[in-house]
Amino acid sequence: MAGMKGKSGGQRAGAGRTAFQPSEEQHELVMQLAAFGLRYFDICRFVKKADGSAISEPTLRKCFAEDLDTGKLKANVRIAQSLYKKAIAGDTTSMIFWLKCQAGWKDAQRVELTGNGGGPIESVNMSTDEFQKIAARIAAEV
């Protein structure tokens, strides 16, 4: 039939390239590589077409969208579970890390400036000449 496309995308039946069909093993591989934090470009190098060449990034995104989305999420869940178990078991470092990330704890350092004997800081007004004399005397001591 004129104008009718075949299964492979060409104008006549059987024409054109066949669409990439990922295997279950490739789905698992992509999910695991996404969990490890690899870039899409690098993941493509591990996924091969029937002719042995690497797939393209658009093919990766099209055929493995769900695997890419859930791979990193699943890794984060497993790490969070492990951290939580260590914190519950009493690991102090894990407890502190959890509280900083999840409960808003902060390492805050406060610096308080005080004057003589812990009193208020005194403000002194002086001329430029007076300041320069004091600065010169201090510089001479150093």
pLDDT digits (tens, 9 = 90+) for 54-92: 999 999 999 999 999 999 899 999 999 999 999 999 999
C-alpha angle with apex 24: 19 to 28, nearest 5 degrees?
115
Q: Which residues contact 46 (CB under 8 A, 6 or more apart)?
A: 29, 30, 33, 54
User: Considering the entire predicted model, what is its pTM?
Assistant: 0.57
pLDDT digits (tens, 9 = 90+) for 8-64: 555 777 677 788 999 999 999 999 999 999 999 999 999 999 999 999 999 999 999
Domain ranges within the chain, ordered by starting residue: 24-102
- What's the rounded Cα separation, in Å, for the pair 77 and 84? 10
